Structures are given as structure tokens and as C-alpha cells.
Structure 1
Amino acid sequence: MTQEAVFPIGTPGQPWDESEKAQWLAQVTIKRSYQDEVMSKFAALSAEFEQVNYGALTFDAAKYPLFAFKTKNWSATKKTILVTGGVHGYETSGVHGAIQFLDTKAAHYSQYFNIAVAPCISPWGYETVNRWNPKAIDPNRSFYADSPAEESAALMAFVASLGEVYAHIDLHETTDTDECEFRPLLSARDGKEYEAGIIPDGFYLVGDSENPTPEFQKAIIDAVAKITHIAPDDDGQLIEVPIEQFGVINYPVKKLSLCAGITHNHFNTTTEVYPDSPNVTAKECNDAQVAAITGGLDYIIEYLKIG
């Protein structure tokens, strides 16, 4: 399928220039409120956790401040756990699952761990229901030094302040719009031909091919399976990647500059909830994200024998 057939901006076979990126930005609209849907929940959390303002998006600094939360009983004797959500702003349960974890579970686990949660890394993307930032950059391919994505650069600076991170769980979704909108858009931006893929019907994980930790991944899958269905493989693959085990594929997360690769951790994973299934609700999607976090933390408690 040609670029022209799937997205009208640009010349087929040629990457976008700055004028074409500006043309794309001009047609992006606000669809929901970061202030009303996300930041409004922070006040209640600040009583229990330390709220950290780690930056703001220069696109509109007053409208898009960046926040994270840390457990108050921080201790050098505890391992540090990082939870991130909303790297891709359109992936709703990543944001609200992180907030729900803070609201319902983080205080309990703070007896075992230092916990830092950045629930909405890309607030402009949240409001516009977008994978990219205003510069047509994907923050989740931009976690490297001198990043052109300020969402990614700001998070990396915050994470550097935490010291050693023992485990990192990055909350995402795979939605039907990945195929009908965002992958065609990426092909148009890069001047490449679009090739259709398959969206897995269910939850799955993306582990780290350089540090696969299969038992950790399985513990998360087992926990989430109590909430929602796990994606069956498509002839031994998910999103055209060979499965490592049921519900799990592995990526070279550092090489691809993904959020899950920003620290030298012992355990990391990226969740992928499927919110477009007719068999799930928004609540179940959020619950699945929380189950992924707690399933991973329960495994680590057992692994370290600290319970």
C-alpha cells in the first residue's frame, strides 16, 4: 500500500520536511484535558507521596507541567522501583493505571521498595490522543543522550536523580489505531511504503532481549490473566516478533531507545494492554496495568526474600 493511499501529507517515497511536519501539527486537535483528567487526581496523591515537578513542555509550559511521585519513606537500604506511563499519550490505561497504582497499592509496597512513578510523560500527546509530540517525534524511540524529544530528556534527567533503579515497568497499550492511523502516519513521515500488520487481541509484554528475565515476565502474565485475556500468538509471533513464551516477546530496548531501557536495571518490562477488545472495559484495562505492576513486585519480593 502506498503512502499516498493511507496519509495525505507529503510526497510518496520522500520523508517529510519541516513544512510538512508543520502541516501535520496544524491539523492536530485537542480531544481531552490533561488538567481535568490527570492533574486533578494529583492533589489527593500528594498527601501520601512526594510530588516532584521535574519539568514542563516548552510547547506550552503553563499547560503541560511534568510530574512524578516518590514514596516518602525513601531509604538507601531499599531497592528502587520505577513505574512510567503515558510515554505515548494516546495509550490511556498507561496513564490511569499508573495513577490507580499510586492510589491503591503503592503505599503497601513502599515498605519493601523505594517507588517512583511518572504517570503521564507526554501530556500534549494525552490531550491530542497522539503517539508523537508536537515535533512529530516519537518519545518512545528517543531515550538517548541529547534527545530531540523533551518528554524523553526530562524523564531521563528525573530518573538520573533516583540513583540505581532495580526494576522498571513501563505501561503501554496496543490499540487498533496503531494500524489504522499511527503506522500509516509513520510511513508517510519517513517516506516509506506502509505494510499492514496485525494487532494482537489481548494483553502481552515486551521484555528485554538483552536481559529477558522469563520468570519475572511469566509472573506478570499470570497476575494479569486473572483480570483480562492474554493475547494468543499468531503462528508463533506477536506484532511480527517471535514469542519468547506465552504472552511475551522481547525487544532490544536500549538499542531501540525505548523507555524501558533507560536504566541499568535487573528487571524491566513493557506492558501492552488491548483496550479495543469488545471483551474488556476501561476499568479492566486500568486494573490489568495495576496487576502487571503488583505481579512484578510480588515476584521481586519473593526473589529477594524480603517479605
Structure 2
Amino acid sequence: MSGARGSQPTILDVAARAGVSKSAVSRVLSGTGRFSDETRERVERAAAELGYVANAMARGLVRGRTHTIGMLVRDASSMVYTALHAVMERRASELGYRVVTTTGVGRVEDEKSALAALVSMRVDGLVVCSGLLPAAEIAEFAPRIATVVAGRPELHPALSSVYCDETDGGTQIADTVAAAGHETVVVLTVPQDNALTQYARSQAMVARLRGRGVAVVDIDASFVRPPADVAADVAEVVRESGATALMCPTDRLMLDVCDALHRLGVEVPRDVSVTGFDGVYPLANDWIGFTTLAQPIERIGREAIDLVVGRIDDPTSAVEHRSLRGTVISGRTLLPRR
């Protein structure tokens, strides 16, 4: 019989029902050691009758593996991280792993503590999806556990990584704006200590536009600034400098700023063309029609899991840095200048 009403049956309950020892149940359920067909049938029947579900993590600890990957996601509300997480969970499942996820709260010390908590759960590997945590802080875990950085450019010699080439993406979308004939462009830039990814792409936009002779007005889009304040600055620049295009470091910020511009009487794309960055559903939907740079999220997620599982299987495998190209999506928010 199992324990008290509402309690989960234990391995001792299974052993009592099957009439065998606890160690025999453990051998059958873990698939290790010697046992007869009769013992296996008795244990499996007893487990099924009791509704016993073996603790996969406990079995893994006996074998030295939990078949669990710990994932740190900076912002669970971000559509990019949500999409990346979904891809990674799917790929991990295909390879026989589960994913345990924790999220950051915007502070380096909290994200590092979150990684330590995952390690304490005896996960086999770590995937870090954050543009905030410095490489040196992540690398401290690498000698003890297979660790991969996903979704941001990371070239630390101890950390494998897979990411969209932010500089190439920023350059591509800037070329698209310049080719459309825009001669004065507003670029929303993000400080490096806010997000490494957004910093890199916005700086690439500015550098490419200026390299092509386009006048650039740089507006601070630090995370502490509300989109309405950023939009107010943009509206003022558009009206005073004659800027005809606005480049945003994310689609999410693009949506918020466009909404605020509308309330200020500045219409997109009639008064100013706008571009984004990320290209993740639903903001990449054709009905919305954003002109944006789509990250290869499917490849980033799948390859990140492949890398971490590869390092779990062979801790001596070489560190890899995989840089993937994004793709410009042409939408209705960018109009050509006559």
C-alpha cells in the first residue's frame, strides 16, 4: 500500500507491493544490475498499480547524469527569449534532455546567483541567454559544467557560443535604409551595460550609415527611459532636422515608439519610416508589416543545444563560436524617398 492519502508512492511502496527488496526495485527501474524477467514484471506491475513515477533526477544522480539542461533567460517577457526558449526545449527533448529555466531580474549579481542555483540542481549543462551577464562571470562555471552562451556575440576562449552576427545585422538593415534614399536618419542606441546585443547592432547601424554619407542623429534609448520620452525626442528631431527614417534596436521598442509617435501626431511611415530588429513572431507577421532584421532563432536555439550536449558527452571538445547571419524583411514601415 502507498503512504497517506494524497502522498506520492515511494520505492518502498513498490518493493512491498512486488514482494522484492528496495535494491531490486532500484535495479529494475534504473535498468542497471542483474534481475530476472519475473522480478522485472513484478516490479513494473506494482509500479503501474501504485502510479509510481520514478524520479528521473534521482536516477540520473546514480548514473552521474540527470539529463537536464539549465537555462538562464534574461527576460521571460521578451518575444526573442520566448521563441529561443521554445526552440531549445524542443531540441533538448529530441536529444533526451529536459530543460530547467530560471530568469534574470536585470542585475548581474542576480543572474550569477541564478546560474549557481541551476548548478546546485545538478544539471548536466548550462545555456545562458542574456545580454547582461559579463563573459567572465559566466566563464567561472565552465570548468565544472558544460556551458554555452546563446543569442549574443561571445568570443570568450572558455565559452562556446552561437548567435546572430549583430554587426552584420545592423549593417544590413542600415544598407536597406540608405538604399531607400534616406539622407537624415535617427538611430536609437542602447548602452553596452544595458544589453550587449542591442549596443552592438545600434552601433553598427550608426557606423554604416555614416560610412555611406548619411546624416545620423543618435538618440539615447537606455532601458530606464520610457518609450514615450524616446518618442518625444524623435518627434522633435524629425520636425527640426527633417529626418525621414528612424532605426530601432528591437521590434518591441519599435512598436512602443511608433505607438507613442502616433499619439504625438507623427505617423509611420507617412511622416517617418521606421525599421526594427529581431523579426520574431508575432511582430514579424506580414499583417503588421515591420521592416526589420530577422534573427535565425531556430538555428541559434537548435545549435546551442547541440553544442552543450556535445560538451556534456565530451568535456574535452573544442570551444566553438558560431556566428549566423540574419535576414532583412521588407515591410511597409520603410518607404523609399523620391
TM over 0.5: no
* TM-score (normalised: structure 1): 0.27
Name whichever structure is richer in helix by fraction: 2
* TM-score (normalised: structure 2): 0.25
